[in-house]
A and B are shown apart, each in its own frame.
Chain A
Amino acid sequence: MEMFFHGFMQRAFLASFSISIIAPILGLLLILRRQSLMADTLSHVSLAGVALGLLLGVNPTWTNILVVIILAIILEYLRTIYRSYSELSVALLMSAGMAIALFLMSLNQAKTSVNITQFLFGSIVTISQEQLILLVGLSIIIALLYVFFRKPLYVLTFDEDTAFTAGLPIKRMSILFNVLTGITIAVSMPIVGALLVSAIIILPAAIALRISHHFNGVILIGMVIAISGMTSGLILSYQFSTPPGASITLVFIAIFSLTLLFRTFLNIRKNRKTVV
């Protein structure tokens, strides 16, 4: 119980609650648009943003946000060029992002080594009041955008050509979506770490997709899974002094395995009943 009285833990729980609201919305859209790897690319490039901030002596959160916004726009452009094999642009930018991050870090090795580790693996104690406000604000914006635009988003994710014919500004919507995903990754990275932030965004929606076959149902169930997974992960991280990103991801993997087992069990039971 004592952990709930620490200021940094209260901030961490509030931040994880905010991420839990955002993650299933972005996660579902990323999965359905076959862009799951985009989150990974953005997180790798985020590191370059952090390295740039540390090198310039500027708050890395802001350089990070700036870099991912630029990248999110480039990604959308490349996705339209390589329409049939969009993973090519993802692979290209992921390696470019990592290379730039390593290059910038090596230029400023003495100062950056400690800080970069925090951004790679995440840390409960690193979340500042400023980052928390940013995250809460972002979750409110994304939740409101989802509430207002859920019908256009449904059509956009089902089929872009149909959405275009229906009069939707698909290019602007895609860029806005990429930018919001980028900012979410940039702001969540200090807590969960660059290496696992994409898993935390994708996994709740991936699990919920196995449970519900309604668009809104997946998002709501995803939020419940995200809240329980992130809270349990944070508690584990506090108790065992393990990296929060890894602890949360392991909880999500456990939930995923359980739903898989439960589904298999249900299918076996159903098949037996049919035979009888």
Chain B
Amino acid sequence: MPYITVRDLAFKYGTETVLTNISFDIYAGDFMILTGENGAAKSTLLRNILGLLKPTQGTVTIAKLNNQNKPLTLGYVPQQVASFNVGFPSTVYELVQSGRFQNGRWYKRLSQVDKQHIKSALLAVGMWDMRHKKIGDLSGGQKQRISIARTFATDADVYVLDEPTTGMDKASREAFYQLLKHSCTYHKKAVLMVTHDYHDLQNYANRHITLTRKEGTPWRCFSMDSCKELS
């Protein structure tokens, strides 16, 4: 059973249709990338999937259980996370730690397993040494990394990532893609990622959707080509 099922999704901002005819499934172990030109409503599609926006037509179904019959969980890295509130009173560690609270763990004390997850997430994005720093003192790229670390710390079943590598250098990006591929292949996580980095990602992802404008449709209306399988 797919983790996420999107059927005939359409979305309008006011009277203007920006998305139409979107249908695809995401299964455990999928590393799916979503591309399209600037303004192709990629983030809008993600927000529809997450329930932050309501589709004007069609459906988004999120499975209740993961493949181990536990409640399915989502982790989300929004676009332009680097613009987050710089005055927010928190250290890097506290922010990443907050990823462990969710999924029914709001009132539990952090266990050794939780602490191990937090450490692994910070090490994975190369921010362990900066864990005591105030988040407002970080650069844009570092903020992006801790936001990714926070999402990794949730240990969610599905990671929805909106251009998460903005501000990262090439080496960090490739290490990050490798990590996502590993999570999908060996831990059966599912990834849906908006990106402009198609050429590098085709070596890591296994499925690809592009949003394009079709002939005869309104100028800002995008729909998808068929979902391509990558090697």
| Interface residues, chain A, with chain B CB atoms under 8 Å away | 28, 31-32, 148-149, 151-152, 154-155, 157-159, 161-162, 164-168, 209, 212-215, 217-218
Q: Does B61 contact A (CB under 8 A)?
A: no
Beta-carbon contacts under 8 Å, B158-178 to A: 160
Contacting pair A158 B98 (CB below 8 A): yes
Kindly report which residue of chain B lies nearest to residue A154, judged by CB atoms: B98
With A32-B88, A213-B134 known as contacts, the answer to whether A161 contacts B102 (CB < 8 A) is no
Most buried by A among B85, B89, B106: B89
**Is the pair A214, B90 in contact by a Cβ cutoff of 8 Å?**
yes
Interface contact B78-A209, CB-CB below 8 Å: no
Which residues from B are CB-within-8-Å of A215? 89-90, 94
Nearest CB in chain A to that of B137: its residue: A213
Known A148-B107, A155-B102, A158-B98; contact A165-B76, beta-carbon cutoff 8 A: yes
The answer to whether B106 touches A151 (Cβ under 8 A) is yes
Within 8 A of A (CB), among B81-96: 81, 84-85, 87-91, 94-95
B227 an interface residue at 8 Å Cβ cutoff?
Answer: no
- Inter-subunit contact A161/B98 (CB<8 Å): no
Question: Knowing A154-B98, A158-B95 touch, does A164 contact B52 (C-beta < 8 A)?
Answer: yes
A166 (CB) vs chain B CBs: closest residue = B102
For the complex, is B217 an interface residue (Cβ under 8 Å from A)?
Answer: no
In the complex, chain A residues whose CB is within 8 Å of the CB of B81: 159
B12 to chain A, nearest CB (A): 17
Contact call A151/B98, Cβ cutoff below 8 A: yes
Q: Which of B52, B87, B89, B102 contacts A214 (CB 8 A)?
A: B89
A158 touches B107 (CB 8 A): no
A161 interface neighbour in B76, B87, B154, Cβ under 8 Å? B76
Chain B minimum-CB-distance residue to A164: B52
Closest to A205 in B: B89
Kindly state whether residue B101 has any CB partner on chain A within 8 Å: yes
Contacts of A164 in B (CB 8 A): 50-52
Once A161-B52, A161-B78, A162-B78 are accepted as A-B contacts, the answer to whether A155 and B98 lie under 8 Å apart by CB is yes
Q: Which chain B residue lies CB-closest to A34?
A: B85
Q: Give Cα distance in the complex from A32 to B84, angstroms.
A: 11
Are the CB atoms of A158 and B88 closer together than 8 Å? yes
Smallest beta-carbon distance B20→chain A, Å: 24
Contact among A32, A148, A149, A217 for B85, CB-based, below 8 A: A32
B88 touching A214, Cβ below 8 Å: no
On whether the beta carbons of B89 and A209 are closer than 8 Å, the reply is yes
**Which residues of B164-207 have CB atoms within 8 Å of chain A's CB atoms?**
none
Is B74 interfacial (CB 8 A cutoff)?
Answer: yes
**A165-B74, A209-B89 given. 19 additional CB < 8 A pairs?**
A31-B87, A151-B101, A152-B101, A154-B98, A159-B81, A161-B52, A161-B76, A162-B76, A164-B51, A165-B160, A166-B101, A166-B102, A213-B91, A214-B89, A214-B90, A215-B89, A215-B90, A217-B89, A218-B89
Q: CA separation between A239 and B171, bound complex, in Å?
A: 67
How far is A149 from B75 in the complex, measured between Cα atoms in Å?
21
Q: How many angstroms from the CA of A213 to the CA of B95 in the assembled complex?
A: 12
Q: Is the CB of B103 within 8 A of A167?
A: yes
- Contact partner, B101, options A155, A159, A212, Cβ 8 Å: A155
Determine the distance from Cα of A45 to Cα of B134 in the docked complex, in whole angstroms. 38
A23 to B76, CA, bound (A): 32
28 contacts between A and B (CB under 8 A): A31-B87, A148-B107, A151-B101, A151-B106, A151-B107, A152-B106, A154-B94, A154-B98, A155-B98, A158-B85, A158-B98, A161-B52, A162-B150, A164-B50, A164-B51, A165-B50, A165-B74, A165-B76, A165-B160, A166-B103, A167-B103, A209-B87, A209-B89, A213-B89, A213-B136, A214-B89, A214-B94, A215-B94
Once the chains are docked, how many angstroms separate the CA of A148 from the CA of B78?
A: 27
B216 smallest CB distance to A (angstroms): 32
CA distance A166 to B76 in the complex (A): 9
